[in-house]
Structure 1
Amino acid sequence: MEHAKGPLLTIDVGTRTVRETDIDDELESFVGGRGVATKLAHDRIPFDADPFGPENRAYISTGPLQQSQMSFTGRMNMTGLSPLTDGVLSTNAGGYLSRNFAGTGYPVVEIVGESDELLAIHVTDDGVEFEEVPELAEAQVPRVTEVMNERHGLESENLITIGPAGENLVRFACVMTYDSRAFGRGGLGAVLGSKNVKTMSFEGDSTPSVELPEDVQSEIHAEAATTDDMMKRQGTTAGTQFIHDNFSLPTRYFSEMEFESVEGINGDAVESKKYKKEACSVCAFACKLPTKDEARDLETEGPEFETVFSFGSNQGIGDVVDVMQSNELCDLLGMDTISAGDTVAAYLAAEDEFGNAELVHEILPKIAHREGIGDTLAEGVERAHEELGVGNWSVKGLEFAAHDGRAIHGQGLSYAVANRGADHMYGNMLGPEYDGQIDPEGLFEEKVEMLIHRENKMAIRDSGIVCAFGIDDYISEEQLAALLGTDWERLDGIGSRVIELERHFNNERGMDREDDRLPYELPDFETALDEYYASRGWNDDGTVPEQSAAESAAAGDD
């Protein structure tokens, strides 16, 4: 089986030392990306670690497909102990970083410790350099790129950077790359902030050799280039109107399920502001959304569908330019747009200020700098909702994505059991339910089995690594297995082990069935939980048997 290659690079920012470790067994068993990072996090982060403590570790990782020139592979993974969910969590980002990262010769870089000075860290195939950058304290993301370019000739595609939100330990701070692409969910930007790491660069010419079948690559790349897909024009917002009209678009902090001003923020509205094409590294699909509004002198990338929801309908805001401005502020400050948007929507609900875009744009910098009410909101919905006097629309501390589990019940179950909380990409049940592959209503046994299959599949997607937009429509299971030189049964087993290691880590931190909860009721929910646990081979309290966890953690057992 093909997998990522090379040693683990560990960077201790406290002692400013580095070391390499052979992880061939882990790579052979977990492919790369999220898989190998989860394995390492499970084994190397203490179960009782403080997310903001020096013992927490952040993993930046790539997969074997980043050694290809195929569409849908311009992505990378980050993994760590989340300050938002208090469990192990992985997130990924697109852009142009992955090939530069691969060029260093390292499939995984591990960050541990805590620096006494704000740092830039430069990783190349010749070594690691530490640069103290106190003058970049509180700098917005593009300013960091400017300085790194002036000093070192580094471009945005070489960098990962945190904004003021990460430095100030906002629990949903993200890590930015290419200035506008985000390792968004779960607050790993605050983990780097706790370690006093402002930015890291990656470059080199030591990309490992991985043999991938040229015919499969060519077939996928050609289809990405020639297909007539509305997402090439409107990105993920292409489905906004359809989802609203046929299912649900959560509105005004989840209090309503349709938005009367949806036409002001739908795909057509976003496309009307798009001014050029944009893509990720080597991808011919080009679904990104560079947008601008000359009247406000505003230029950004996006908003994608989740931002249209979180800063649009969920805040009662129906002007796409207002949403664009919120999107740009989050990029500059380094905050996840879903969590930030939902948390601000909770504040608007508490203040009866739905639709007040000016207030939203005032609040976002206050969150990033923890000023006034921003200090409360920087904690996220789960920790702030009681003070605000609103409902807790989160699972395991992670704020909800747009795809409404009250309308598509399999996605609702997916939110509940997902190890990283209310994230739509973890099990990605929304696709089969939206397109009619399976009845969106009900939690029957076949739907539970489909969810398990899809969770495993998404774990392999994030280990390979391939883009979520390609995995169902343009890359079949057979093609992905062929690319990795194995069969799907083996990949499914690896995906299952990744899920189980995440669950076991979280169990060790005190999470169990009581954390697999929703803020609304679904029919036969408890029965579906029983079926899900039984099918996974877990205990009925949602915990992983120790023998099973030990088998999943054993490298080289497949």
Structure 2
Amino acid sequence: MLHAKGPLLTVDVGDRTATETSIDDTLEAAVGGRAVATALAHERIPFDADPFGPENRAYLAPGPLQQSRMSFTGRLNMTALSPLTDGLVSSNAGGYLSRNVVGTGIGVLELAGTSDELLAVHVTDCGVEFEEVPELEGATVPETSEYMADRHGLGPDNCLAIGPAGENRVRFASAMTFDSRAFGRGGLGAVLGSKHVKFVTFEGEAEPSVEIPNPPEMDIHREAAQSDDLLRRQGTTGSTEFINDNFALPTRYFEEYGFEHADRIGGAAVEAKKYEKRACSACAYACKLPTRDEEAGVETEGPEFETVYAFGSSQGVGDIVDVMKANELCDSLGMDTISAGVTVAAYLASEDEFGNADLARELTEKIAYREGIGDRLAEGVDRCHADLGVDNYTVKGTEFAAHDGRVLHGQGLSYAVANRGADHMYAGMLTPEYSGELDPEGTLGKAERLVHEENASAFRDTGIVCAFGSDYVTPDRLETLFDADYADLMEIGARTVRRERHFNNQRGFDRSDDGLPYKIPDLEAAIDEYYAARGWTADGIVPDTALEPIAPSAD
């Protein structure tokens, strides 16, 4: 089976040491990306670790397809113990960083320990260097990129960085690359901040160690270039009005199911502000959304649909320029737009200030610096809703994505049982429910499909393939690319989900954590079906006998 290659590079930022460990067996069994990072985290992060403590470890892992020139492969996985959910979380980001990580010749980067000083780590194909950067305390992500360019001649494509939100341990801080591409959900930027790591650079010219089958490599690339998908013009915002009109667009902190100004913040509004095409590394699909409004003096990348919801409908804001400003602010400060926007919306609900975009941006900045009420909001909705006097619209501490489980009941079931909570990328039940392939009403009988969607998403994040590539990187092409049966690839995804759940079980997670803050039909019975399909206990526990270690321990 095709798999990533290279050693595990462990960088202890407290001891200022770098050590290489062979993980050939782990890579052979788990392919790369999320599966390998999850296996390593399961064996090397203590089950009782503090997410902000030196014992937490952060993993950056490409998959084998990052050694191709194929469209939909310019992505990188990041995994750690989340300060938002208190369980394992994985996120992946696009841009150009993945190819630069591969260029160093490593298979996985592991960041361990805690530095006494604000630190930069430089990883090359010749070794690792450490640089104290006290002058960057409080610097925004673009300011950090400017420092890198001036001091080291490197661009934002070489860099993983955090902004003030990460330094201040905002629980939903993002780790950023290319200034605007985010490892968004779960607070991975706060993990780097707790280690006092401001940025990590990657540079090298290591020879490719993996041969990618062609075809289908170039067939996929050509089809991506010739596509006329709406996604290429409007990104995910192209679905805004369809969802609002036919399903639900959560509005005014979940008080309403539709937004009267959806057309002002939807796909056409975004496309009108788009000024050029832009892509991730090696991708001909070019779906990114560089937008600007000269009158307002704002230039950003996006917003995508989730940001349109979080800083638009969720806050009662109906001006795309206001949403663009919030998007730019979150990227600059280093914060997940979904959690930040929904948390701000919770505050607006408590103060009856829906529609106040100026206040929303003021609060967003206060969160990043933990100033005033921002210090409380920086903990996220789960930890501050009681103080605000609003309902707790989270699952496992994760603020809800836009795809409303109150209407899409299979997606609601997915939110309830997902190891990282109310995140729409963990399993795409929303796609078959929006399309009519599955009736969005009801939860019973959907468990088997949910298990498959979770497994497929886990393998997608392992390969690594962009979610937008699903119509091009099809199951039969995956079999050719990875020289394996599709069922075997799905089993790698299943093992990844199982390891995440087992790790979280050891931290006390069980059935009581699998729920929703609202009622949908037959949820408890559907959860029973899901556990049975997974082979877990009725309490949502993965038996110890259900998995074997495939990664070396930290000892």
Partner of residue 543, structure 2: 545
SS in 2 for 1:423: coil
Deviation, 1:444, is: 2.5
Partner of residue 385, structure 2: 385
Equivalent positions of 1:425-504 (< 5 A) are 425-445=425-445, 447-471=446-470, 473-504=471-502
Q: Which of 510, 513, 521 is residue 512 of structure 1 equivalent to?
A: 510
Partner of residue 218, structure 1: 218
Partner of residue 269, structure 1: 269
Contact 1:102 1:207 in 2 (8 A): no
Paired AA for residue 36 in structure 1: V
Contact 1:5 1:208 in 2 (8 A): no
Paired AA for residue 469 in structure 1: F
Paired AA for residue 128 in structure 1: V
Equivalent positions of 1:305-344 (< 5 A) are 305-344=305-344
Deviation, 1:151, is: 0.9
Q: Deviations over 1:203-255 (max 9, x none)?
A: 10114321221111112111101011111110010111111111100000011
SS in 2 for 1:77: strand
Contact 1:29 1:555 in 2 (8 A): no
Partners of 1:426 and 1:467 lie apart in 2 by 13
Moved more, 432-441 or 342-351: 432-441
Partners of 1:441 and 1:25 lie apart in 2 by 44
Partners of 2:390 and 2:222 lie apart in 1 by 49
SS in 2 for 1:131: strand
Contact 2:43 2:551 in 1 (8 A): no
SS in 2 for 1:345: helix
Deviation, 1:555, is: 6.0
Paired AA for residue 107 in structure 1: G
Partners of 1:94 and 1:83 lie apart in 2 by 23
Paired AA for residue 466 in structure 2: C
Partner of residue 240, structure 2: 240
Contact 2:264 2:318 in 1 (8 A): yes
Contact 1:55 1:113 in 2 (8 A): yes
Partners of 2:412 and 2:469 lie apart in 1 by 23
Partner of residue 408, structure 1: 408
Deviation, 1:554, is: 4.0
Paired AA for residue 455 in structure 1: E
SS in 1 for 2:295: helix
Partner of residue 64, structure 1: 64
Partners of 2:416 and 2:409 lie apart in 1 by 11
Partner of residue 81, structure 1: 81
Contact 1:220 1:474 in 2 (8 A): yes
Q: Deviations over 1:464-500 (max 9, x none)?
A: 00001112x2211111121111111111111100000
Percent of aligned pairs sharing the same letter: 67
Contact 1:117 1:134 in 2 (8 A): yes
Contact 2:40 2:551 in 1 (8 A): no
Partners of 1:207 and 1:112 lie apart in 2 by 27
Paired AA for residue 504 in structure 1: H
Partners of 2:174 and 2:243 lie apart in 1 by 27
Partner of residue 38, structure 1: 38
SS in 2 for 1:215: coil
Paired AA for residue 171 in structure 2: R
Partner of residue 208, structure 1: 208
Contact 1:13 1:113 in 2 (8 A): yes
Q: Deviations over 1:425-483 (max 9, x none)?
A: 001111111111111111122x2111100100000000000001112x22111111211
Please, which runs of 5 or more residues in structure 2 have no aligned partner? Answer: none
Moved more, 319-328 or 519-528: 519-528
C-alpha RMSD of the superposition: 0.9
Contact 1:67 1:207 in 2 (8 A): no
Is residue 249 from structure 1 mapped to residue 246 from structure 2 by the alignment?
A: no
TM-score for the superposition, normalised by structure 1: 0.98
SS in 1 for 2:439: coil
Partners of 1:525 and 1:363 lie apart in 2 by 35
SS in 1 for 2:532: helix
Contact 2:5 2:107 in 1 (8 A): yes
Partner of residue 524, structure 1: 522
Contact 1:11 1:110 in 2 (8 A): yes
Equivalent positions of 1:2-17 (< 5 A) are 2-17=2-17
TM-score for the superposition, normalised by structure 2: 0.99
Q: How many residues align?
A: 552
After TM superposition, what 4+ stretches of structure 1 lie above 2 angstroms from structure 2? 553-556
Equivalent positions of 1:124-273 (< 5 A) are 124-273=124-273
Alpha carbons of structure 1 residues 130 and 554: separation in structure 2 relative to 1, 3 Å: closer
